[in-house]
Chains A and B, each alone.
Chain A
Amino acid sequence: MKNSVQIGPSDTISAFLLFFIVHGAQIGVGIHGFQRIIYQDAKQDAWISVILAGLATHIIAIFMLKTLEIYGSNDLYGIHQDIFGKWIGNFFNIIYISYCSVAFFAVLRNYIEVVQTWVFPDLNTWFLTVSLLLIVMYAFTGGLRVIVGVSFFSAVLSIWLFPMLAFPMKFIEPRSLLPILDSDFSEILKGVHSMTFTVIGFEILYVIYPFVKDKEKAKKHVHLGLFVTTLIYLAVMLVTLTYFSGAQLTKTIWATLTLFGVVKFPFIERIEYFVVCFWLLIILPNLCLFIWSAFRGAKRLVKVSANKFVWLFSLIIFGVSFMFKTRPQINTFNDYYSQVAFYIVFVYPILLYVLAVAKKKFKSHKEQIE
């Protein structure tokens, strides 16, 4: 292929790190409060929606990997240019770059909202934005390997959060899950659709795939990452559904953080404060990976250095952050964002795969004639 990505051996990463990248890109701010949104659609069967959404991520990942395998060593931006030609391809690239930027902003703003509500009600948005952006810039300028390192450490260092679920389990009532399948299938599917905001992130595959050293092993680690994420979501959902009663859950904005409210240690009584601050480590890979994939795309469009890009990007994000002040604004933004993300992450990859296969057939056919 003419426009495939050229990578030096010092830039490649091992396939097993894909596990941490996929997992790290998926888990972010969505897990804070996805329960009530799914519950509104699927009631006590919300956990089935979570499983189905997890299944959907596996299927889409298969399509993504198949598409990428056709091209060997190329990313989404190159594939676009190859399939649609330079102009239309670049148009699609711009859409994808904007998607990454919006995703970056969504993670950033939602996290800041949580910090402002739980820990520091009197801290300004701009201050939190600037400090987060500076940290992201610091990681981004280190290059891909540093970003992947951040993903790795973020996953490893936050393992301890998972067993904390045992504390709220003291209060659970498994009976709340009954009767199973009380909701219609359409309601459960609606719940799956609402999971979009929470499960997306694995589309990073499209951009990071060329950088993987041993590509034949990539499949295994990607699916393992997706599986573990689904498992975590499922566990959190099951505990939430049995811990809260129905109407209580629909009123709890960040159910996961409220779950942490009952965790008590002799040395720290209110662990959720600590968890909210610690969450910075969990959203950091999110932010780094989104800004990085936006940068990979921008590089295809115009000649821009990483430094210039990161300053410009941060400046824009900083500017936009002034536009969202209240909770309703952020909620509306999240709704629109997850609507769009559903089409970009869950519908478009299938379309792209079909087009890529068609293009390949067409090409080999042409070569045969010649």
Chain B
Amino acid sequence: MKKCCVILLSLFLCVGLAACAETKLLERVGLVTLVGYDFGKEEAVETTAVVRQVSTELQSKVAIITAENATTQGTRAKVNNRAAEKIMSGQLRGVLFGEEFASAGIGHNIETSLRNSTISGAMLLAVVEGETRPMLEYPYPEIDDIGEHIYKLLKQNIASEQVVSSTLHEVAHDYYSVGRDVAIPLLNRDEELIEISGIALFRRDKMVGKLSVEDSFYVKLMRDNYHAGSYEMKLKGEDLPTSLLKDPPDEINVVFDPIKTRKDVKLVNPTTPEFDLHITVQVRLLEIKPNINVGEVKNAEELEKVIGTGLSAELSRVIADCQEIGSDVFGFGEFYRSSVRHSELTEEKWHAMFKEMKVNIDFDVTLLRSGIFE
């Protein structure tokens, strides 16, 4: 009993006298919710940080602080010099890169973020068309907290499968993987409106191109399976058989929602390389303009075929585009690596092969239903 008392007493003394870890009271720290990186005018990096200061009053304040330095962590110290409260990055939810900055390479930033234990792997990354600073500093009349707004905007669109997911973990996964390149959502500001304008394509860590929102559908189609996304596509009037529609217009718009996909990729020739790609698509037809009655079995089958060829043509176009800029955001390299034994695949090797790659695409479209009114 006495022994226990001695031990407990020393434990208390020890904790009481020496356990002075740094306290981080919510009211006394500034929470960085979003940072943007651009090239500095004088030094290497210009950081724009959105700092949220929780106060005892109802409204919390949002400050936007900019600093330049040679390293990102160095700018952090400078931001701290300009902030009223100590800057903490534990609540960092998003990192934006200016387009020019991303073209020069973001690998170093990914590495630094991964190293820091306070930064969560669920943080989202995005590229901004132009520079990040004007986007963050613009006085939006409708938006109180720009950091929170951009994070929610990205999160919502990723959750509803409108754009590729870009958590720090997933970006790092692709960055370090041999057979897949990084794809990150692209943001654009149009006066008072911030919108997702497409995706940025990377080769290793450098941004090499971009795709529109419509085309990024095909990238996501190859990377993941769709469960609930929606998509609007344009069919060419001339592709449509006359049995479906007499004198069709040049363009027919079809909207699917929700769309479910499954894909099956087979490497048929490892030397070229050549892939057989079979994609099963199940959709609900939400809108078709001009209207075609898909209640009839024959019509539905015809339409399914036309949609299939339309999707194939679009997908091959997007793949060809990406081949040209040499960015395998689809992950064909992963399929190659996992199907060929002792491939010893390196990134250089794959990028050379990717340019020569051939893909045979085959879509199998099923129209499940078309709403409650025919």
Task: Give me the interface of A with B, judged by CB distance under 8 Å.
Answer: 117-118, 120, 122-124, 127, 130-131, 134-135, 137-138, 141, 171, 173, 175-176, 178-179, 182, 243-248, 251-252, 258, 261-262, 264, 269-270, 307
Contact = CB atoms under 8 A, between A and B. Distances in A.
Contacts of B29: none
Contact of A175 (B114, B122, B338, B341): B338
B312 interface: no
Given A127-B18, A171-B169, A262-B167, 19 more contacts: A118-B117, A131-B14, A134-B11, A138-B7, A138-B8, A141-B7, A171-B170, A176-B334, A176-B338, A244-B173, A245-B180, A246-B177, A248-B177, A252-B114, A261-B169, A264-B122, A270-B90, A270-B120, A307-B3
19 contacts: A120-B21, A122-B21, A123-B19, A123-B21, A127-B18, A131-B11, A134-B10, A134-B11, A137-B7, A175-B338, A178-B339, A179-B339, A244-B176, A246-B178, A247-B176, A247-B177, A248-B176, A251-B114, A261-B121
B172 interface: yes
B342 interface: yes
B174 interface: yes
B328 to A, nearest CB: 14
Contacts, number: 84
Given A117-B117, A251-B114, A264-B122, A179 B341 contact: yes
A248 B10 CA distance: 43
Contacts of A248: 172-173, 175-177
A366 B120 CA distance: 69
Interface residues of B, number: 36
A141 B178 CA distance: 54
Nearest to B223: A173
A245 B176 contact: yes
B334 A175 contact: yes
A131 B14 CA distance: 7
Contact of A179 (B21, B173, B340): B340
Interface in B329-352: 334-335, 338-342
Interface in B222-276: none
Contact of A127 (B19, B117, B335, B338): B19
Contact of A130 (B14, B90, B174): B14
Contacts of A261: 120-122, 169
**Sorted from nearest, which 6 A-B pairs have the closest CB atoms?**
A245-B177, A178-B338, A248-B176, A247-B176, A261-B121, A134-B11
Contacts of B175: 248
B4 interface: yes
A131 B15 contact: yes
B3 A245 contact: no
Contacts of A258: 121
A339 to B, nearest CB: 29
B22 interface: yes
Contacts of A138: 4, 7-8, 11
Contact of B176 (A175, A246, A262): A246
Nearest to B347: A247
Contacts of B22: 122
A349 B170 CA distance: 45
A117 B14 CA distance: 21
Contacts of A135: 11
Determine which residue in B7, B10, B22, B177 has the highest number of CB atoms from chain A within 10 A of its CB, and name it: B7
Contact of A141 (B3, B117, B173, B176): B3
Determine which residue in A120, A135, A243, A247 has the highest number of CB atoms from chain B within 10 A of its CB, and name it: A247
A84 B51 CA distance: 70
A251 B177 CA distance: 12
Nearest to A120: B21
B220 to A, nearest CB: 15
Nearest to B168: A261
Contacts of A246: 176-178
Contacts of B19: 123, 127, 131
B192 to A, nearest CB: 31
Contacts of B7: 134, 137-138, 141
A281 B3 CA distance: 22
Contacts of A269: 120
A246 B21 CA distance: 36
Contacts of B10: 134
Nearest to A247: B176
A191 B269 CA distance: 33
A123 to B, nearest CB: 6
B179 to A, nearest CB: 9
Contacts of B169: 171, 261-262
A262 B169 CA distance: 9
Contacts of A141: 3-4, 7
Contacts of B114: 251-252
Contacts of A264: 122
A131 B122 CA distance: 33
Contacts of B340: 179
A60 B285 CA distance: 63
Contacts of B15: 131
Determine which residue in A135, A246, A307 has the highest number of CB atoms from chain B within 10 A of its CB, and name it: A246
Contacts of B177: 245-248
Nearest to B22: A122
Interface in B154-192: 167, 169-170, 172-178, 180
A158 to B, nearest CB: 21
Contacts of A307: 3
Given A131-B15, A261-B121, A262-B121, A175 B335 contact: yes
A130 B11 CA distance: 8
Contacts of B334: 173, 175-176
Given A178-B338, A179-B339, A307-B3, A262 B21 contact: no
Contacts of B335: 175
Determine which residue in A138, A175, A243, A307 has the highest number of CB atoms from chain B within 10 A of its CB, and name it: A175
A269 B338 CA distance: 35
A182 B342 contact: yes
A179 B338 contact: yes
A117 B117 CA distance: 7
A118 B178 CA distance: 29
B225 to A, nearest CB: 12
Contacts of B170: 171
